[in-house]
Structure 1
Amino acid sequence: MKHPRPSLTELLDFKTRINVVDIGANPHGGSALPPYQGMLERGLVHLVGFEPNPEALALLEAEKSVDETYLPHAVFDGSVQTLNLCHASGMTSLFEPNEAVLNGFHGFSEWGKVIGREEIETVRLDDVSEIEELDFLKIDIQGAELEVFRNGTEKLAGCLVIQTEVEFLEMYRGQPLFADVDQFLRGLGFMLHRFEDLTSRAVKPLVVNNDPYAGVGQVLWADAIYIRDFTRFAELGAGKLLKLALILHDVYGSFDLALRALLVRDAMLGTDLGKLYLEKLSNG
């Protein structure tokens, strides 16, 4: 696959690997490739993924590389939970779909219809021994993300970037919303960097251009990107700063923050990667 930009490892000629955890790694859970796909293809990632769906797990296992490990666990709080199986598998959740909200949008009342329930055991992120180090977390589990964070603070202590789905309306009964997730992650020393794939839909009965997926103004969900607070980069170690710069450059094209991370690292070690990076950026 041709990548849109050279990797930071190519620009600055260094070697490092990013420890990625993907909670909700279903390859058919959405249309987009995972955000770390480019780094994975370049051999820059060690991935631990979680996928409790047996069919999806089998697909992952059949196609994985030597850099990928997949586990059949549902990550939550370590208790036994009821999984609500929905007509659209992408809406299956530990939380009950909220008909009052879903009925306000085209298609969701059908997609969110519960067709079965099953009891499942969950694990705490902090209890997963296969995760020795965590640099980059991607998580999308339909409203259950905050409980994973609450039960993963030890692993998250070393994490640099989190890409998490957040919702702005209570599509599932009692689910935490963006404000709850944001407040908790800020308490762990993260800051909101930006939203990806901000999704809106038209409220019934309006249909835009005969497209039930078209939005007008009401936002429903997005992927929120959190990074370590850039005013506190100096608290990170030199190795972590290099990894942070790599993620910011390769995954998000956030060249300004990648540069800042490299400059802070240079101040620690007396190196000049930041200067070299700025020259590369300036020369196109």
Structure 2
Amino acid sequence: MADTSRAKPRNPIAKLARSLAKRLRRAREGGDERRFLNQARGIVHVGANSGQEAPSYARLGVPVFWIEPLPDVFAVLQERISSHPLQTAVRALVSDSDGAEVDFHVAGESSSMFAFAEHKKLWPEIDASGVVRLTTSRLDTLMQAHGLSSPPYDALVIDTQGAELLVLQGAGDRLAGFERIVAEAADFEAYRGATNVDELTAFLAGHGFRLQHKASMASLKGVGTYYNLYFRRSH
């Protein structure tokens, strides 16, 4: 998703100042996703898309389990991770129940179990291309079926465009094995019926996780902000 928060300045000095300000903000927030995960022993990534993060994960030298629901996108994912022996993938739609049939809205990297609401205000160029019928699986069911234990899989990345809370609810007792969680969420209704920042933070606080920092991905005055959220287990 593109950052639509403001136009890039043309003045090279202003551009440099903006770049430095962005680096300082990231330093305060604790860095980007790769840096946040550099102590992970293994990663479960729900909502893989085509596995754009595969090279960064490979540099961490840890096993990665990708989950992606769409067949054509899954084929690209498999090709991308084929050169990374520690990375495997399964095609599934993760939610809070097994065996439920749902409409899945196809829109590239913005594909979701939920239809667009105010998402179009931040990304007007993105359109849903259709709806497919998919069957859901719980995360704990998938982890058990594929022999994944935590540890070593102690980091969870969720990029499911509004279904993040459903994924967490479907983790069941497996949630206790994770130390770090990265998730996307908005503070407005980007998708109809989707979870938001406050709901996600409250749920994870009830399971022993603290919101360590949040990084703005895109923002629009009068609408709201889309964030990457970084959670750590409290000890």
Q: Could you tell me the TM-score, scaled by structure 1's length?
A: 0.61
**Which among 30, 43, 50 is matched to residue 27 of structure 1?**
50
| SS, match of residue 226 in structure 1 | strand
TM-aligned CA deviation for residue 119 of structure 1: 1.0
AA of the residue aligned to 1:192: L
Q: How does 1:205-284 map to 2 (within 5 A)?
A: 219-229=224-234, 232=235
1:54 aligns with 2:71: yes
> Identity, % of aligned pairs?
26
Which of the two has higher C-alpha Rg? 1
TM-aligned CA deviation for residue 38 of structure 1: 4.2
Judged with a 3 Å threshold, the aligned counterparts in structure 2 of structure 1 residues 39 and 172 are, in CA distance, closer, same or farther, namely: closer
Q: How does 1:69-218 map to 2 (within 5 A)?
A: 69-77=88-96, 78=98, 79-86=100-107, 89-98=108-117, 101-102=118-119, 105=121, 107-108=123-124, 110-111=125-126, 113-128=127-142, 129-130=145-146, 131-133=148-150, 134-202=153-221
TM-aligned CA deviation for residue 56 of structure 1: 2.4
TM-aligned CA deviation for residue 197 of structure 1: 4.0
Whole-angstrom distance in 2 between the partners of 1:80 and 1:18: 33
Whole-angstrom distance in 1 between the partners of 2:119 and 2:184: 18
AA of the residue aligned to 1:46: P
| SS, match of residue 180 in structure 1 | helix
Whole-angstrom distance in 1 between the partners of 2:122 and 2:198: 25
Aligned residues: 188
Whole-angstrom distance in 2 between the partners of 1:181 and 1:42: 27
CA contact (8 A) 1:198 1:219 kept: no
| SS, match of residue 42 in structure 2 | strand
CA contact (8 A) 1:167 1:178 kept: yes
AA of the residue aligned to 2:58: L
Q: Which residue of 2 aligns with 1:277?
A: none
Whole-angstrom distance in 2 between the partners of 1:138 and 1:183: 18
AA of the residue aligned to 1:124: R
Taking only aligned residues, the RMSD between alpha carbons, in angstroms, comes to: 2.2
| SS, match of residue 114 in structure 1 | coil
AA of the residue aligned to 1:58: A
Judged with a 3 Å threshold, the aligned counterparts in structure 2 of structure 1 residues 107 and 19 are, in CA distance, closer, same or farther, namely: closer
TM-aligned CA deviation for residue 90 of structure 1: 2.0
Whole-angstrom distance in 2 between the partners of 1:143 and 1:50: 16
AA of the residue aligned to 2:227: A
List gaps (5 residues or longer) in structure 1.
1-15, 204-217, 233-284
Judged with a 3 Å threshold, the aligned counterparts in structure 2 of structure 1 residues 84 and 187 are, in CA distance, closer, same or farther, namely: same
Whole-angstrom distance in 2 between the partners of 1:193 and 1:93: 26
Whole-angstrom distance in 2 between the partners of 1:17 and 1:97: 33
1:16-37 CA distances to partner (integer Å, 9 max, x unpaired)? 9712100111237xxxx53x85
1:205-229 CA distances to partner (integer Å, 9 max, x unpaired)? xxxxxxxxxxxxx542111000011
1:18 aligns with 2:41: yes
AA of the residue aligned to 1:61: Q
Judged with a 3 Å threshold, the aligned counterparts in structure 2 of structure 1 residues 95 and 106 are, in CA distance, closer, same or farther, namely: closer
Structure with more relative contact order (C-alpha pairs < 8 Å, separation 6 or more): 2
1:59-110 CA distances to partner (integer Å, 9 max, x unpaired)? 2222321101100111112211110123xx1222111111xx346x3642x5
TM-aligned CA deviation for residue 40 of structure 1: 2.4
TM-aligned CA deviation for residue 115 of structure 1: 3.2
Q: Could you tell me the TM-score, scaled by structure 2's length?
A: 0.72
Whole-angstrom distance in 2 between the partners of 1:158 and 1:187: 15
